[in-house]
Amino acid sequence: MGVVNLARVDERLIHGQVMMTLSQKSGVNSIFVVDEVVAKDKFMRELYENAGSRTGQKTIVVTPEKAKFYWDEYNFKDYNCILIAKTVSVMYDLVKHGVPMKELNIGGIAQKDPEKDLLVTKSVYLNQADAQKLKEMNEAYGVESIYFQATPSAPKSTLKDVLKQFNL
Whole-prediction pTM: 0.94
State how far the Cα of 58 lies from the Cα of 47, in Å rounded to an integer.
13
Give residue 28's domain range: 3-164
State how far the Cα of 61 lies from the Cα of 114, in Å rounded to an integer.
31
The mean per-residue pLDDT over the stretch 127-138 comes to 98
- Statement: residue 62 has pLDDT above 90: yes
The mean per-residue pLDDT over the stretch 140-158 comes to 94
Share of the chain above pLDDT 90, in %: 84
| pLDDT at position 72 | 97
In the chain, how many domains are there?
1
* CB distance 117 to 159 below 8 Å: no
Q: Domain holding 76: CATH number? A: 3.40.35.10
Helix (H, G, I), strand (E, B) or coil at 66: helix
State how far the Cα of 77 lies from the Cα of 73, in Å rounded to an integer.
9
Helix (H, G, I), strand (E, B) or coil at 116: coil
State how far the Cα of 104 lies from the Cα of 85, in Å rounded to an integer.
11
The predicted-structure confidence for 68-118, as pLDDT tens digits, reads as follows 999 999 999 999 999 999 999 999 999 999 999 999 999 999 999 999 999
| Cβ atoms within 10 Å, residue 152 | 15
| pLDDT at position 17 | 72
